[in-house]
Amino acid sequence: MAKLNFGGVEETVITREEFPLGKALEVLKDETIAVIGYGVQGPGQGLDLRDNGFNVIVGQRPGKTYDKAVADGWKPGETLFSIEEACERGTIIMCLLSDAAVISQWPTIKKHLTAGKALYFSHGFAINWSDRTGVVPADVDVIMVAPKGSGTMLRVLFKEGKGTNSSFAVYQDATGRALERTLALGIGIGSGYLFETTFQREAVSDLTGERGSLMGAIQGLLLAQYEVLRENGHTPSEAFNETVEELTQSLMPLFAAKGMDWMYANCSTTAQRGALDWMGPFHDAVKPVVEQLYASVKCGNEAQRSIDSNTQPDYREKLEEELKALRESEMWRTGAVVRTLRPENA
């Protein structure tokens, strides 16, 4: 493990240099890695592990997702099984079901968690809120590698020779090998670097992030600005370009490559003056909302809301209504047209 200085704070991290793929293959050479669930993370992690030379099988219920696994080259009866059979065959059970499905499938998974096996998650949710999910594993290794990105990008970046950073944690070490198993899996799935966390910290930061700056807050901020521009007579084209298109097409790539500090130092003096003057008011307006959000996540309210709503029989229909409203909002209908007008799409 390397100690690195992040903006003045020392952290312990694992890099690929320290824990190369060869070492990961050696650590897991006698393991059968069972990827349970082939939604978004399942294909990303499973295919990266398979391409890296690990012994991987998939457990997936029948249906469209099962067919997708077949299309990806998993062979029924050889490397593709029912959830139950994969749990039985696997020595490492990678639980990549949706968080609600973990609750319903837990009795099946639990039955096959015999001595020496490891239970792996990519989220702290099931364990951190075990009082609500009922996921209480017996005396096996309970480990986590949580990629900080979608499974789709994990795969894309892997194929490009890049990587998604992941956090890792050991919740229970029954075999004495839990940490090396975790790190080997983290490297095997194609992580960039791995940083240490706990199931509790991962669950709380992840739910905060997706409700905040990654998804919830960003939509709220973009829509607020779009609406104000529209209410003041600006056209959809102008409002969308000033609010979204310039952000994603021009600024985000630079912001990603060089940081917001660089952006501030490399824009027009008018933009720079305004951004420096207005970052404070935006911060002050938003911080109380983030504090409210964090408190709601930490006390378990957000987890409970997610469990309650995702387990409703009509959840998918109700969700579709909400997504339809978003999709059919003027801002995103404008976005769809603007995207078709990008020269590369014309």
Ligand X SMILES: NC(=O)c1ccc[n+]([C@@H]2O[C@H](COP(=O)([O-])OP(=O)(O)OC[C@H]3O[C@@H](n4cnc5c(N)ncnc54)[C@H](OP(=O)(O)O)[C@@H]3O)[C@@H](O)[C@H]2O)c1
Q: Would you please indicate which residues are annotated as catalytic (active-site) residues?
A: 123
Identified binder of ligand X from the candidate list 65, 91, 108, 130, rule CB under 6 A: 65
* Complex with ligand X: residue 97 or 331, whichever CB lies closer: 97
Compute the distance between CA of residue 236 and CA of residue 222 in angstroms, rounded to an integer: 13
* Complex with ligand X: residue 60 or 243, whichever CB lies closer: 60
Is 1 within 8 Å of 18 (Cβ atoms)?
A: yes
Q: Does 230 bind ligand X (CB under 6 A)?
A: no
Tokens of 316: 């998918």
Identified binder of ligand X from the candidate list 12, 150, 213, 301, rule CB under 6 A: 150
Identified binder of ligand X from the candidate list 80, 97, 118, 203, rule CB under 6 A: 97
Half-sphere exposure of 263 (CA within 13 A, CB side): 14
Q: Does 123 bind ligand X (CB under 6 A)?
A: yes
248 CB neighbour count, 10 Å cutoff:
11
CA-based R_g, the chain, Å: 22
In the complex, the smallest distance separating the C-beta of residue 282 from ligand X, rounded to whole angstroms, is 27
Q: Give the CA distances from residue 35 to residues 55, 69, 88, 201, 324, in Å, rounded to whole numbers and listed in that order.
A: 11, 11, 12, 24, 32
Tokens of 51: 């391409």
* Complex with ligand X: residue 104 or 213, whichever CB lies closer: 104
Residues forming a β-bridge with 166: 147, 194
* Complex with ligand X: residue 43 or 335, whichever CB lies closer: 43
Compute the distance between CA of residue 341 and CA of residue 343 in angstroms, rounded to an integer: 6
Cα dihedral sign, 119-105-197-148: positive
Report the residue number whose CB is nearest to ligand X: 39
Identified binder of ligand X from the candidate list 2, 67, 104, 315, rule CB under 6 A: 104
Site string for ligand X, 24-63 (x = CB under 6 A): -------------xxxxxx-----------------xx-x
Identified binder of ligand X from the candidate list 35, 101, 140, 187, rule CB under 6 A: 101
* Complex with ligand X: residue 23 or 201, whichever CB lies closer: 201
In the complex, the smallest distance separating the C-beta of residue 72 from ligand X, rounded to whole angstroms, is 13
Among the listed residues 294, 297, 314, the one whose alpha carbon sits nearest the alpha carbon of residue 306? 297
Q: Does 98 bind ligand X (CB under 6 A)?
A: yes
Q: What are phi and psi of 4, to 5 degrees?
A: -125, 155
Compute the distance between CA of residue 95 and CA of residue 235 in angstroms, rounded to an integer: 48
Q: Does 124 bind ligand X (CB under 6 A)?
A: no
Site string for ligand X, 167-206 (x = CB under 6 A): ----------------------------------------
In the complex, the smallest distance separating the C-beta of residue 35 from ligand X, rounded to whole angstroms, is 9
Compute the distance between CA of residue 186 and CA of residue 194 in angstroms, rounded to an integer: 7
* Complex with ligand X: residue 25 or 40, whichever CB lies closer: 40
Q: What type of residue sits at position 221? A: L
Q: Which residue has the tokens 């008018």?
A: 270
Q: How many residues contact ligand X, by CB under 6 A?
A: 23
Identified binder of ligand X from the candidate list 28, 56, 92, 99, rule CB under 6 A: 99
Identified binder of ligand X from the candidate list 55, 79, 105, 208, rule CB under 6 A: 105
Cα dihedral sign, 337-339-345-346: positive
Cα dihedral sign, 119-120-121-127: positive
Q: Does 122 bind ligand X (CB under 6 A)?
A: yes
The site for ligand X (CB under 6 A) is made up of 37-42, 60-61, 63, 65, 96-99, 101, 104-105, 122-123, 146-147, 150-151
